[in-house]
Amino acid sequence: MTVKVKKPRPVNLDLQTIRFPLTAIASIVHRVSGVITFVSISILLWLLNMSLSSPEGFASAADIVDSFFVKFVLWGILTALFYHIVVGIRHLMMDMGYFEEMETGIASAKVSFAITAVLSVFAGGLVW
């Protein structure tokens, strides 16, 4: 006689209890920063086009950039770009065989965050 054993069903994952490793966070944010950079190109080209169109166009573009909110967005765009470049270089180095172990991977992610933080402060100085 065969006894039917109830198979344990997969438990619904509680996303709030899942902690991503630092390397995974660095990777996901890198993709997000790439998308932000891509979307912001159109905004920046639109502003550049306006500023080069005529002296009045330049004044309008300068007016737009003069508000705190727009400066904050520009600072965010520059920070995303710096993050994308710094972690992009880390990615390319990993493609060449560096920082592939867990320890060096976490260390290089931390160093990338620190370099981005410094560049972000620099970006703030440029914008304000």
Q: Is 88 in the site for ligand HEM (CB under 6 A)?
A: yes
Q: Which two tokens stand for residue 120?
A: 């972000």
Report how far apart, in Å, the C-alpha atoms of 41 and of each of 25, 27, 37, 44 are. Answer: 24, 21, 6, 5
Residue 74 near residue 82 (C-beta atoms within 8 A): no
Q: Determine the interface stretch with ligand HEM among 53-61, 72-80, 82-90, 108-116 (rule: CB under 6 A).
A: 82-90
CB of 125 to ligand HEM, least distance (A): 21
> Taking the alpha carbons of 31, 109, 81, 73 in that order, is the dihedral positive or negative?
positive
Q: What residues numbered 28-57 form the site for ligand HEM, per CB under 6 A? A: 30-31, 34-35, 37-38, 41
d(CA 70, CA 63): 10
Number of neighbours of residue 111 by Cβ within 10 angstroms = 13
Choose, by CB under 6 A, the member of 47, 65, 85, 119 that binds ligand HEM: 85
CB of 72 to ligand HEM, least distance (A): 21
19 three-state secondary structure: coil
Q: Determine the interface stretch with ligand HEM among 4-12, 56-64, 86-94, 101-109 (rule: CB under 6 A).
A: 86-94
Choose, by CB under 6 A, the member of 51, 65, 91, 113 that binds ligand HEM: 91
Q: Is 89 in the site for ligand HEM (CB under 6 A)?
A: yes
